[in-house]
Amino acid sequence: MQTKKLGVLGLKLETLSKLGWKNIIRVIFYRLGKKSGFYEKTLPIGEPYALSLTPSCFSATIRGTSLSGPEQTVLLKNADRLRKGSMCYFSHFWFDVGSPPSWFNNPFKKSVCKDNKIHWSKLPDFSKELGDIKTIWELSRFAWALDLAKAYRLTSEKSYLDTLNAWLADWTKHNPVNAGPNWKCGQEAGIRMINLLLAARVLGQAPEKLNKGIIRFIWEHCQRIEPTLFYAIAQNNNHGMCEAAALFIGGACLTQQQIDPSKKKKAIRWKRLGRKWLEDRVRKLIENDGSFSQYSVNYHRMMLNILSYTEIWRKILNERPFSKQFYHKAAQATKWLFIFTNSNSGQAPNIGSNDGTLLFNLSNDSYLDFRPSVNLAGCLFLNYMPFSETSIKQISEWIDVDLSLPRKPHSILKKDPILFKDGGYCFLNKDNIELFIRFPSFKFRPHHCDMLHMDLWVNGQNIICDSGTYSYNCDEAYLTYFPSTLAHSTIQLDGRDQMKRAGRFLFAGWPESYPVENISRHNETYTWQVGYRDFGGAEHIRKIILKSNKVIVVDKVRDFQYRAILRWHLAPFDWILEGSKCSSFAATINIESTVPIKQILLTSGYRSLYYLKKEKIPVLETVVDKPGKIITQIILKT
């Protein structure tokens, strides 16, 4: 395949056409709406009020739970820390934030958003002084409301309920609708609303008898989401899906309340609008093979959790089912994440963008464990659980919804080598070895230069890994590093990225794979090959050979100008480099080449498993300056 060379302008125009001119027009209208003051006029700042979940709005009897032992200990420990004003950020960092917290502090930088009283449309998208705005949003997602509600439900200890109500009242007092950073993003509003409804449900709140504060909360959040939904749709990612789900859930809840007929009419419209666009997003953003538009494992989990909890609320609210295509696509997406989730550890490759999200974690599962999300989606969309480990019973009890455990065995889904041609992934496995290879198959905008990246897992351990994301607003060096070719286990040609950076979240010059071959099996050996040519005209073809305890990778490179660098990002073990052999207790890596190797060295890079946390990891680099083949033999000590 010969890829045409384009100048910078040509690359950008080509990329814009791939994004879709309709979506570009939507983005332009959204930005004009902010700049002109349109949103400030049509979505005025509201008045503060005191939101609470009080015993008077609970049902007479609250169903008990089977939670006990270590799980109960973890829940109560977290709730106790919340009572004392300590909050967990991104499933990893605990900070003292006060009780109630300051809703506008970035504890990572010890900075404060001082513009918390102005209209959200007047706030900048990125601020060096404030730092990553996600550190502000994290508190206002209301994940803490679930822990406090569950702790009260479990113990009847009034201090948990008092803390919950104090925080809710303080939030609505200091965050009147449309004022400040916590109203800036429609998706954040949707996540917050759904978490509040889940907390109310945990406490026995009947969906048709919401108190006035909750009704107002839902109303204001749906009002905020609707006018900018078109902008979320233009992103072709989780934003449109989440905001549509929130409109459907919020609108459906409001239609069951005793409210003014004109308001009920609007609620019906929100419900229908949410259903329409959620169906649309599922149809367009989930491929036939189950791949998701964001080319990200963690965002795939986020998408699946959104669909799962929307389906749960549909059941709770007795709404009619979604379309057959919706359930088919949701089932395919569930099977996809099953393949990517390790059965032993529950962990998954850190491929693609990762903003640290784990939505609606009712069972307090580990952020790194993907099995609970797969099992919940399996119950809802496959009628069986892919994994034996489960927290489905807890979820069912907490929110009093029938999630009866399926009778079909969890082993009904098998992990066999498979190509996801629509999304651009190859999965190879044998015994306790799992390989994941990325290749370019882009219908939607890619966020990482990770073409031909390979992840290697043995016995649930990630031996060769992806670096992750770290942060969307940090020092330029890290902002550039994590999405770059440099941060992935692939080959970098002539010191450039595989695509041309065209913005903070945009690359130009998306390549296409050569015709993708099927996986070949001969006796007990699997073989697969894929290649591409980048925007500069250089070529990389990667061939994978998987045997019982050995992985052989043959990288063919040509048509580059001066240098090709093969990098293997290694697990943080003690690796020793001796000549062309690199060893640890887990594996031995031997490097050979058909052309002279200019340099082999064991250097370091970064990996980020949790948002805003990075760690140094070893990186094995091999440099050649002539076209040829680099052969990597990985002998596994299983």
**Mean pLDDT to the nearest integer, 186-202:** 96
Bridge partners of 597, per DSSP, are: 624
Mode of pairing for the β-strands spanning 454-458 and 93-96: unpaired
Burial code (b: 16+ CB inside 10 Å, e: under 16) for 270-299 equals bbebbbebbbebbeebbbebbbbbbbbbbb
Q: Which tokens is 131 given?
A: 């730092």
Instruction: State the pLDDT confidence band at 491, using cuts at 50, 70 and 90.
Output: very high
Distance (Å, whole) CA 523 – CA 159 = 64
Query: How confident is the model at residue 405, as a pLDDT?
Result: 66
Cis peptide, bond prior to residue 100, ω within 30 of zero: yes
Q: Which residue has the higher pLDDT, 312 or 511?
A: 312
Distance (Å, whole) CA 503 – CA 488 = 20
Mode of pairing for the β-strands spanning 564-569 and 550-558: unpaired
pLDDT averaged over the chain?
92
**Which domains can be identified in the chain, with CATH numbers?**
8-19+417-636 (2.70.98.70), 57-184 (no CATH)
Distance (Å, whole) CA 491 – CA 498 = 9
pTM higher than 0.85 for the full model?
yes
Instruction: State the pLDDT confidence band at 302, using cuts at 50, 70 and 90.
Output: very high
Least confident of 237-251, 398-412, 427-441: 398-412
**Mean pLDDT to the nearest integer, 570-581:** 96
Percent of the residues in the chain that have a pLDDT greater than 90, as a whole number = 77
Q: Which residue has the higher pLDDT, 16 or 36?
A: 36
Position 406 pLDDT exceeds 50: yes
Position 215 pLDDT exceeds 90: yes
